[in-house]
Structure 1
Amino acid sequence: MRGLRGLRGSRGRQGLRSLAVSGLAGLSALAGAGAAWAGDPSAGLAYHGSAMLAGGQVDVWLTPRNDGPAAVPDASVRLRWSAALADVQQLPAGCARTEERAVVCRTGALAAHGLGEQIALSVRLEGRPPEVTMEVETAWTGGAAEPGKTHEAERVLVLATGDPYAF
């Protein structure tokens, strides 16, 4: 993501929005591929991990889990913070900034009653807030229904102590 520095200097936020839109297009392509999945699947997605805030940077480690009963061909998780993200971010492959305060990451396929691969990312916040609230929620389930789920985001308060806060 070193190219973001050039976008920021030459086109400002408009360049960043273009980059975010292209990232969303890639995630939409993933969504389109999953929509063709046949059957009447149901899944129960959850995310467990920790977040740590120090010096205006939030480090997040999370593992997606599918409580089943059906496998999920692909899914994505949305992470949203109460503070704005800095303009320049270095996100891992499979993650894209989608809003001023949010990032979406691909989880990959999730077996029924199985764990996915750990997702690890660091985001820079504007300034150095003493605390931030992070919301974690399923953004897309690859066509699998989640019966009984209200799709409310899980929230965790992360203080700028450098300590990990579990969710």
Structure 2
Amino acid sequence: MRKWTSGPVGVAVAAAGVVAGAVAAGPAAPAVAVGGGTGLALAYHGYVDMGRGEVNVRLTPWNNAAVPVADATVRLRWSTPLDGEQRLPAGCQRYSTTSVVLCRTGAIAAHGRGAEIHVRVRLADATAEEVAMEIDSLAAGDPADRDPGSDRQQVMVLETGDRYSF
């Protein structure tokens, strides 16, 4: 099923005293907000476009809660495999599958906006005419989705060069 969306994706991440926990080993490993108690609400706003086998994503994380976020992880998942070689920005890395990239949001003030994240990836099939991209957050330092009912956003991107907002 394909779903066209143009609005914020709100993702509840459990946290109280926010502490960053590593998702994977290494200095560039993304981190997530962890803890228990008060709920943090992260939302992502931005756009995605596609052309010549490349997908360009720009997104800004927003913290809609009264508690600051020390760090969180946004997961970008594509419906088709990514090319084996990628040049990802600092704070982003591929995850164990062929179509997932994890990025750190960095610190976000209470009721504040985080730094823009810009990710450009190449698809394994450079002739693909469309790709679905899913955006969500990971909680409690676990790369597995323990809350499949959490808010996610999926954007269908056509190989036209047009920007699709979310």
Q: For 1:152 and 1:42, locate their aligned partners in 2 and report how far apart those are by CA, in whole Å.
A: 14
**Residue 124 of structure 1 aligns with which residue?**
122
1:51 corresponds to 2:48: yes
**Residue 109 of structure 2 aligns with which residue?**
111
**Residue 14 of structure 1 aligns with which residue?**
none
1:73 corresponds to 2:70: yes
Q: For 2:41 and 2:140, locate their aligned partners in 1 and report how far apart those are by CA, in whole Å.
A: 9
Larger strand proportion, structure 1 or 2? 2
Structure with higher Rg: it is 1
Percent identity between matched residues is 45
Cα RMSD after superposing both structures: 2.1
The answer for unaligned runs of 5 or more in structure 2 is: 1-22, 142-147
Larger helix proportion, structure 1 or 2? 1
**Residue 97 of structure 1 aligns with which residue?**
94
TM-score (norm 2): 0.74
DSSP 3-state at the match of 1:120: strand
Q: Would you say how many aligned residue pairs link Structure 1 and Structure 2?
A: 134
**8 Å Cα contact 1:91/1:122 also seen in 2:** yes
**Residue 25 of structure 1 aligns with which residue?**
25
Structure 1 segments (4+ residues) deviating >2 Å: 39-42
Post-superposition Cα deviations, 1:4-55, rounded to whole Å, max 9, x if no partner, equal xxxxxxxxxxxxxxxxxxx822337x45xx64x6x73321001010000001
Could you say if the C-alpha distance between residues 150 and 114 of structure 1 is closer, same or farther in structure 2, counting changes exceeding 3 Å? farther
Could you say if the C-alpha distance between residues 112 and 141 of structure 1 is closer, same or farther in structure 2, counting changes exceeding 3 Å? farther
**8 Å Cα contact 1:74/1:141 also seen in 2:** no
TM-score (norm 1): 0.73
